[in-house]
Amino acid sequence: MKKGAQTKQQILEQATKLLQSQGYHATGIAQLAGEAPKGSLYFHFPGGKEEIAASAVRLSGERLASDLQLALSSCQDAGEALALVIDFLGQRLEESGYREGCPVATVALEVAHESEPIRMACADSFARWEEALRARLASLGISGERGESLAIFILSAIEGGLLLARARRSLEPLRVVAAQVRRLVAEPCS
Amino acid sequence: MKKGAQTKQQILEQATKLLQSQGYHATGIAQLAGEAPKGSLYFHFPGGKEEIAASAVRLSGERLASDLQLALSSCQDAGEALALVIDFLGQRLEESGYREGCPVATVALEVAHESEPIRMACADSFARWEEALRARLASLGISGERGESLAIFILSAIEGGLLLARARRSLEPLRVVAAQVRRLVAEPCS
Amino acid sequence: MKKGAQTKQQILEQATKLLQSQGYHATGIAQLAGEAPKGSLYFHFPGGKEEIAASAVRLSGERLASDLQLALSSCQDAGEALALVIDFLGQRLEESGYREGCPVATVALEVAHESEPIRMACADSFARWEEALRARLASLGISGERGESLAIFILSAIEGGLLLARARRSLEPLRVVAAQVRRLVAEPCS
Amino acid sequence: MKKGAQTKQQILEQATKLLQSQGYHATGIAQLAGEAPKGSLYFHFPGGKEEIAASAVRLSGERLASDLQLALSSCQDAGEALALVIDFLGQRLEESGYREGCPVATVALEVAHESEPIRMACADSFARWEEALRARLASLGISGERGESLAIFILSAIEGGLLLARARRSLEPLRVVAAQVRRLVAEPCS
DNA sequence: ACCTGCGGGACTACCCGTTGCT
DNA sequence: AGCAACGGGTAGTCCCGCAGGT
């Protein structure tokens, strides 16, 4: 019971990292399996690579969602908190040699058209993050449709910033996004 | 134009479409070759798949850059123009069954860490688009560092919006981005 | 009957069907196990797939042998009886979409050279059927070497007819065999 | 031009032997390829294993058909000729350690239900042999429906005899079939 | 000199029949 | 009795070179 779940978890752990940095198609089953023999892998994930990827994406999504919630609630100034979160993502990106960007985006773009389960796992992850943002904005008094729009916009900007930063091998886009987002949240009128 | 150059062009044309919708690793050499015999592919592109992809990305980048320039200059209201551009991207995305998003983003995320030539082609494309935005903002009086920042921010938001829209199979994120970007440009103060 | 023996029987039952329609190599252990957990399969059949197949072939052989005996003894005219048996086999073949031919032949041809136990199980089945035919012919006065030869010949023709019928997806070969066999048995002189 | 066709032929040659003695599912692609690398194999047979098998079956079918025609026409007494052919098949069977029976039968039974192309190749082979028999019988004056029936019956008996002989590891069934067939053809009345 | 048919394997995802440890 | 592990096996596809014909 314990051993089994442990192996499964280890595979998922490995998968989240590999999918984040290499994407779906560049990551082979052997790599996903890591130490575990292929036979065990297909015991735990009868759905094969697709199932592993979907699970891994979900795991990444939940983790980042809870990190996000924690970070946003730990700082009184929401704009400040967002900027810190973005900086943190940028730091991780840089320290990994611009390999670890958004843990979901690459897979999402690669398989959006060929695997519904994975696509839905990605969409759910994005929805979770958006919801975390929306909730924090609501606590600032930015609620209703405006809150939702702002949450989507901020999430878009962050995802785009991570993408540009990776392609450029530079943190500048992320820094710009952080600054603009902070201002956006701080603005009383808009 | 000779038969040879024609074949080459046709391969590139095919490549832009396939890389946009499937990404790099999911697109095989045979698919890229299309009708053309696989053997002669390496005559036209001695660098193999990598060279084809880099060229295709550059081609896509230039095309979208000139489209962008055209669209931005064809409308007096910059915010309006931007919204139209984003709507156009969204339309193409929807009509293609949410397959044709950004022609560069997928490849960029997939190969950022494994192929410098392709990564640079992606980065250059993004830079071109950013420059087009920056130039239009400058004509509005938003220049200097502020113009650059805003251009980066808008580009990030658009890329993120395309990503979210593809994963969600919904145009909502793009619509939100269009609206917010329009306001951002229109705002006198920010 | 205990739960264990019941499971065992159920596996054998499943095996006879699958081996008849798919053959040995195309039938996986998982399929043979059916509902039963794969782990316990090796408790009931320590010899693995080979043992299951041998047992299943034996079971099929005995069943068809007793069916044959019954049918042959239930009709006074031996030729008529044989024709009826052949028609019955043809009917089963057709109703199953030309899947269920001889329950032994496919396995026999597949593994004759690689598994003695299975090969012998097949040979024994054929011998049983031949013996049933021989016995009936003896009761007609066709005995001795002539009876044995005729039994072998008839069995050969039936097996060949089933084979041709399956390949052709047509009952014609079987019908021809039935008619010729009937005449063969009826002939006074031969 | 020459080299290519040669490789293809060599693969087919290998395939006919392996399919005859091992059947379809027990024969791996690597075995079928023999010396040839898999890359070349899939160049010549884009349809993979299925295409190779279908082609190989057709080749075997044509070869045996022409052998049959030759043998039947080389002997004035048709019964004698048939007996010789059957003896020859038996000899090959025995000399190969009861591995090389009918080159088509095993494959036919194995894949009749899962591959139309292969099934049809098998059916065509059987039809060719039947036609050769029918033609010879017609030259004896046994024509019309009776000739067709007899051809089918004889072919069935031979196939069945080969099957029984393989399972039993004994030439007896084939010898019996040879004798009975000879008598069948010689009979004036039937 | 331009082009391409064919060859070349390493690698893919997946599944096999089997066995130990619980 | 059975979950989990095992790793070698499957067919098939990968991207790429090279000899030689046009």
Q: What is the pLDDT along chain A (190 residues), one digit of tens a residue?
A: 567 788 999 999 999 999 999 999 999 999 999 888 999 999 999 999 999 999 999 999 999 999 999 999 999 999 999 999 999 999 999 999 999 999 999 999 999 999 999 999 999 999 999 999 999 999 999 999 999 999 999 999 999 999 999 999 999 999 999 999 999 998 755 4
Q: Inspect the interface and report whether the beta carbons of A166 and B190 lie closer than 8 Å.
A: no
Q: Inspect the interface and report whether the beta carbons of A156 and B156 lie closer than 8 Å.
A: yes
Q: Stated in angstroms, how far is B11 CA from E1 C1'?
A: 22
Q: Give the pLDDT confidence score for residue A34 in this predicted structure.
A: 86
Contacts of B29 (CB under 8 A, 6+ apart): B38, B41, B48, B49
Closest-CA distance, D3 to chain C, in angstroms, reads: 34
Asked if the Cβ of residue C48 lies within 7 A of any atom of strand E, the reply is: yes
Asked if the Cβ of residue A169 lies within 7 A of any atom of strand F, the reply is: no
Residue D175 is given by DSSP the state H
Q: Inspect the interface and report whether the beta carbons of C105 and D177 lie closer than 8 Å.
A: no
Nucleotide closest to C45 measured between CA and C1': E18
Asked if the Cβ of residue A4 lies within 7 A of any atom of strand E, the reply is: no
User: Are the C-beta atoms of residues B162 and B152 closer than 8 Å to each other?
Assistant: no
Q: Stated in angstroms, how far is D34 CA from E10 C1'?
A: 17
Asked if the Cβ of residue D50 lies within 7 A of any atom of strand F, the reply is: yes
D155 alpha-carbon distance from chain centroid: 10
Given pLDDT bands bounded at 50, 70 and 90, which one contains residue B177? very high
The rounded distance, in Å, linking the Cα atoms of D114 and C22 is 9
The rounded distance, in Å, linking the Cα atoms of D100 and D88 is 12
Q: Inspect the interface and report whether the beta carbons of A108 and B163 lie closer than 8 Å.
A: yes
Contacts of A104 in chain B (CB under 8 A): 167
Q: How many helices (H) and strands (E) does chain A have?
A: 9, 0
Q: Inspect the interface and report whether the beta carbons of A110 and B110 lie closer than 8 Å.
A: yes
Whether residue D189 is predicted with pLDDT greater than 80 in this model: the reply is no
* Chain A residue nearest residue B170, CA to CA: A123
pLDDT in tens, B71-86: 999 999 999 999 999 9
Nucleotide closest to A6 measured between CA and C1': F4
Which two three-digit tokens encode residue B65?
């850059």
pLDDT in tens, D128-161: 999 999 999 999 999 999 999 999 999 999 999 9
The rounded distance, in Å, linking the Cα atoms of C181 and C157 is 8
The rounded distance, in Å, linking the Cα atoms of C148 and C154 is 10
Asked if the Cβ of residue D38 lies within 7 A of any atom of strand F, the reply is: yes
Given pLDDT bands bounded at 50, 70 and 90, which one contains residue B1? low
B150 alpha-carbon distance from chain centroid: 18
Q: Stated in angstroms, how far is B32 CA from E4 C1'?
A: 16
Which two three-digit tokens encode residue D11?
């693969």
Neighbors of chain D with 3 or more C-beta pairs under 8 Å: C
Q: List strand F contacts in A 19-38 (CB < 7 A).
A: 36-38
pTM of the model: 0.93
* Chain A residue nearest residue B113, CA to CA: A99
Q: What is the DSSP string of C31-75?
A: HHHTTS-HHHHHHH-TTHHHHHHHHHHHHHHHHHHHHHHHHHHT-
Q: Give the pLDDT confidence score for residue A51 in this predicted structure.
A: 97
Three-state SS string over chain B comes to CCHHHHHHHHHHHHHHHHHHHHCCCCCCHHHHHCCCCHHHHHHHCCCHHHHHHHHHHHHHHHHHHHHHHHHHHCCCCHHHHHHHHHHHHHHHHHHCCCCCCCCCHHHHHHHCCCCHHHHHHHHHHHHHHHHHHHHHHHCCCCCHHHHHHHHHHHHHHHHHHHHHHHHHCCCHHHHHHHHHHHHHHHCCCC
Q: What is the residue whose two structure tokens read 């024994």?
A: C124
User: Are the C-beta atoms of residues D118 and D24 closer than 8 Å to each other?
Assistant: yes
Contacts of A41 (CB under 8 A, 6+ apart): A11, A29, A32, A33, A52
Q: Stated in angstroms, how far is B156 CA from F1 C1'?
A: 59
Given pLDDT bands bounded at 50, 70 and 90, which one contains residue B6? confident
Phi, psi of A97 (to 5 degrees): 70, 35
Q: Inspect the interface and report whether the beta carbons of B23 and A22 lie closer than 8 Å.
A: no
Neighbors of chain A with 3 or more C-beta pairs under 8 Å: B
Amino acid at D106: T
Best mutation target among D115, D163, D166, D182 (most C Cβ atoms within 10 Å) is D163
User: Is D172 in a helix, a strand, or coil?
Assistant: helix
Counting CB pairs under 8 A, whether chains B and C reach 3 or more, is: no
Q: Stated in angstroms, how far is C93 CA from E19 C1'?
A: 39
Residue C91 is given by DSSP the state H
Q: Inspect the interface and report whether the beta carbons of A23 and B26 lie closer than 8 Å.
A: no
Nucleotide closest to A50 measured between CA and C1': E13
